Amino acid sequence: MNRNVGSRDRWLRVLGALPLTSCAVLAPYSLPLRLLAFGVPALYMLGTALFGSCLGYALMGKSTCPARQS
């Protein structure tokens, strides 16, 4: 899959995953609910930041990567 997540977007995804991860650990809900509600989205955001490719962006034909100069 081609990269479609720019560097600023990647950093924002990492910063957004941090509170989700803390909620997955600290929220006063049952473990399965915490993992489903907070853990899965945090893992998705960290994965897209790490690999630089977002399935949602690909389905919409969107990209936040800067235009390549040829």
6: which DSSP letter?
-
Is the pLDDT confidence value at 56 over 80? yes
Is the pLDDT confidence value at 40 over 70? yes
Is the pLDDT confidence value at 51 over 80? yes
Hey, where are the domains in the chain?
7-52
Average pLDDT, integer, range 42-69: 89
pLDDT digits (tens, 9 = 90+) for 14-31: 999 999 999 999 999 999
Environment class of 17 (CB within 10 Å of its CB; exposed 0-12, middle 13-18, buried 19+)? buried
Is the pLDDT confidence value at 68 over 70? no
What is this structure's pTM? 0.85
